[in-house]
Amino acid sequence: LGLGTIEAQTRYSIPEELKPGSVVGNLAKDLGLSLAEIFYRKLRVASEAGEQYFSVDAGKGELVVNDRIDREALCGQSVSCVLPLQLVIENPLHLHRLDVEIKDINDNSPVFQAKQLSIKIAETAAVGTRFALENAEDLDVGSNSVKSYSLSRNECFALKMKEVDDGRAVPELVLEKSLDREKKAVHELKLTAVDGGNPALSGTAQIVIHVLDANDNFPVFEKNNYKISLPENTEKGTSVIKITATDADEGPNGEIEFFFGPRTPESVLSIFEIKSLTGDIYLTGNLDYEKSTSYKIEISAKDKGVPEMEIIPVTIIDVNDNPPIFSQASYDIQNYPLVPPTLHFPPHSALMVLHTVLQLVVPLEVQILVPPTVLNFDVAFQHSVLNVLQAGTLKLLL
């Protein structure tokens, strides 16, 4: 082996939460080394992440777990979780790449952010009306994440699932029988979320439904769908959109206020503002297409009863606010043949001709090559700038 040679990598795969001392793989066998070689050549493992989750058992030639490995702490909810390692062998020095894939195990139960969900429903609510419920979160990924929901048996409500834009399914409460506040003013239900592990784990939340009297109409958005496209250089204070809703009730029960929904992320709250009485949404922060190309704004229209929800997708339009960047800080050119470059320019572009200290044997010539069809070029030399006012091909002959 040559000094400092880096050999093709080896890959192992283990589940998370293995006990310290658990065997990951047989290095002696996979690297073709004897136990004696492993000892006197001081085989050791180095982690690129800094944490020493693994070590080498020189007596057995095995890679073993050195510390607790929590996949969720290392990789969050990423589908792939790989720890890159490097094996170091001395006399002579030799480096070997090693990847250890950490597989998820079902070690987390589904959890509802709120253990008790309180919902207020008018007794005049129509059968078939749906009410959004909080979805459960599970730190595990893939088949070990949340797979289904169920509702305790009752007379008036059923559970349905609603597909949302990102492919997830969220639970909704559906009214299947008319409510009568005089007979029953409060309904208590249990919502259960179950993951796909084996054995499966579950989490529960209590739903308390208060039946309201009198206010028998809900706010209704005048549009079923809202959609916004904004250039990323839109100025602060710009009115983005005006949300309107109506309520058939009169007096205080018909007065509507607008709010951002309870699950609105900080990324939206930090750059958008809504006027509660008018429904006007304003831009209060800076947009950056390179950081985020879109937002989803959840709007709640609320009267004195149950709020109505609407989600507004906001698409950010890129503008040319980032200059080109050379891949190198400097270039060293020595004795390279002068190959005539061909440059393609869009309409209304400009070519800057720079004076250099190079002493050319032949004069610099700029030749405009046009396709078979006739193209009219307007070429103007102004302060060493060649302006091309129609699409074509420029060829620089040196």
Whether the pLDDT of residue 54 is over 80: the answer is: yes
DSSP string of 179-204?
--TTT-SEEEEEEEEEES-SS--EEE
Q: What pLDDT does residue 325 have?
A: 66
Q: Is residue 347 domain-shared with residue 291, that is, in the same domain?
A: no
Q: How far apart are CA 300 and CA 218, in angstroms?
A: 12
Residue 150 lies in a domain: yes
Q: What pLDDT does residue 277 have?
A: 92
Q: What is the pLDDT of residues 161-214, one digit of tens each?
A: 988 777 778 899 999 999 988 789 899 999 999 999 889 999 999 999 999 876
Using the 3D structure, point to which of 178, 212, 246 is the last residue of a domain: 212
Q: Is residue 261 domain-shared with residue 236, that is, in the same domain?
A: yes
Residue 61 falls in which region: left (phi positive, over 0), alpha (psi -120 to 50) or beta: left
User: Which of 266-275, 315-324, 353-362 shows the lowest mean pLDDT across its residues?
Assistant: 353-362
Whether the pLDDT of residue 298 is over 50: the answer is: yes
Residue 173 lies in a domain: yes
Q: Is residue 90 domain-shared with residue 135, that is, in the same domain?
A: no
Q: Is residue 245 domain-shared with residue 261, that is, in the same domain?
A: yes
Handedness of CA 231, 232, 238, 239 (dihedral sign): positive
Q: What is the pLDDT of residues 104-147, one digit of tens each?
A: 988 889 999 999 999 999 888 899 999 999 889 998 888 898 99
Residue 337 lies in a domain: no
Whether the pLDDT of residue 225 is over 50: the answer is: yes
Nearest to 273 by CA among 291, 297, 293: 297
Residue in the structure block whose two tokens are 């004897």: 34
Contacts of 37 (CB under 8 A, 6+ apart): 43
Mean pLDDT of 226-236: 92
Say which CATH number the domain at 304 has.
Answer: 2.60.40.60
Q: Is residue 197 domain-shared with residue 263, that is, in the same domain?
A: no
- Give the strands of the sheet with 385-388, arranged side by side: 349-352, 385-388, 379-382
Q: Is residue 91 domain-shared with residue 157, that is, in the same domain?
A: no
Using the 3D structure, point to which of 75, 103, 131 is the last residue of a domain: 103
Q: What is the pLDDT of residues 84-94, one digit of tens each?
A: 999 999 988 98
Whether the pLDDT of residue 63 is over 60: the answer is: yes
Q: How far apart are CA 63 and CA 249, in angstroms?
A: 72
Q: Is residue 233 domain-shared with residue 194, that is, in the same domain?
A: no
User: Which of 61-65, 210-214, 243-247 shows the lowest mean pLDDT across its residues?
Assistant: 210-214
Q: What pLDDT does residue 216 have?
A: 64
Q: Is residue 187 domain-shared with residue 230, that is, in the same domain?
A: no
CB contact at 8 A, 62 and 35: no
Give 3-state DSSP helix, strand, coil % of the chain, rounded to 5.
5, 40, 50
Using the 3D structure, point to which of 190, 212, 234 is the last residue of a domain: 212
CB contact at 8 A, 43 and 85: no
Residue 373 lies in a domain: yes
Q: How close are the terminal C-alpha atoms of the chain, in Å?
A: 49
Q: What pLDDT does residue 102 have?
A: 92
Q: Indicate yes or no: pTM above 0.75.
A: no
Q: Is residue 171 domain-shared with residue 145, that is, in the same domain?
A: yes
Q: What pLDDT does residue 278 have?
A: 93
Domain count, the chain: 4
Residue 302 lies in a domain: yes
Q: What is the pLDDT of residues 115-124, one digit of tens each?
A: 999 999 988 8
Q: Is residue 97 domain-shared with residue 176, that is, in the same domain?
A: no
Grouping H, G, I as helix, E, B as strand and the rest as coil, residue 293 is coil
Range of the domain at 379: 342-397
Residue 203 lies in a domain: yes
**Tokens representing residue 384 in the block:** 């060493």
CB contact at 8 A, 290 and 325: no
Q: Is residue 134 domain-shared with residue 90, that is, in the same domain?
A: no
Residue 283 lies in a domain: yes
